């Protein structure tokens, strides 16, 4: 079990997608499909949908919160987000999605040095505990 700081409470579970580089949701993630469309990104073509997304931080525009909101509205969003540093843009997108009664996902902050300890199947709990989702 790993303990994270809760930015947006909730529960989420799914396969881990650990990004090899920071990302701008605006322009790098297709809000209609949940796929990473930035051809320069190491995980180009990967889908965020239903996965626990681990990334150092998001880059770029505050419009990234709108992209996350659209992903969640369309059911293409991640199951949870684990950040290496607090991020107001993605956190805002998750909060607004919850308020609009779209999909509700947890957002946690975890020291990036602990990212290697994240299991391949992740369960995120309301209190910030991150554990293996394997039975």
Q: What is the pLDDT of residue 113?
A: 87
Catalytic residue among 24, 61, 63, 104: 61
Q: What is the pTM of this model?
A: 0.95
Task: Answer for the pair 123, 28: CB distance below 8 angstroms, yes or no.
Answer: no
Quote the CA–CA distance of 29 and 10 in Å, as a whole number: 23
Q: What is the pLDDT of residue 61?
A: 79
For residue range 28-63, list pLDDT tens digits in order.
999 999 999 999 999 999 999 999 999 999 997 789
Q: What is the pLDDT of residue 135?
A: 65
Task: Answer for the pair 125, 11: CB distance below 8 angstroms, yes or no.
Answer: yes
Domain ranges across the chain: 2-132
Q: What is the pLDDT of residue 36?
A: 98
CB neighbours of residue 9 within 10 Å: 15
- The dotted CATH code for 2-132 is 3.50.30.10
Residue keyed to tokens 């990302």: 23
Both tokens assigned to 132: 């293996």
Low-confidence stretches of the chain (pLDDT < 70) are 135
**Residues 6+ positions from 108 with CB-CB distance below 8 Å:** 4, 5, 6, 7, 80, 81, 82, 83, 124, 128, 130
Whether 61 is catalytic is yes
Q: What is the pLDDT of residue 25?
A: 94
**Residues 6+ positions from 40 with CB-CB distance below 8 Å:** none
């Amino acid at each position: 079990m790993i303990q994270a700081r809760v930015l947006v409470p909730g529960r989420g579970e799914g396969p881990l997608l650990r990004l090899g580089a920071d990302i701008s949701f605006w322009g790098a993630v297709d809000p209609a499909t949940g796929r990473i469309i930035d051809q320069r990104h190491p995980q180009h073509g990967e889908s965020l949908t239903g996965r626990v997304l681990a990334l150092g931080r998001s880059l770029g525009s505050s419009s990234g919160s709108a992209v996350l909101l659209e992903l969640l509205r369309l059911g293409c969003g991640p199951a949870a987000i684990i950040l290496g540093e607090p991020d107001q843009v993605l956190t805002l997108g998750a909060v607004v999605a919850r308020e609009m009664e779209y999909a509700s996902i947890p957002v946690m902050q975890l020291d990036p040095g602990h990212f290697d300890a994240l299991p391949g199947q992740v369960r995120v709990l309301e209190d910030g505990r991150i554990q293996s989702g394997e039975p």
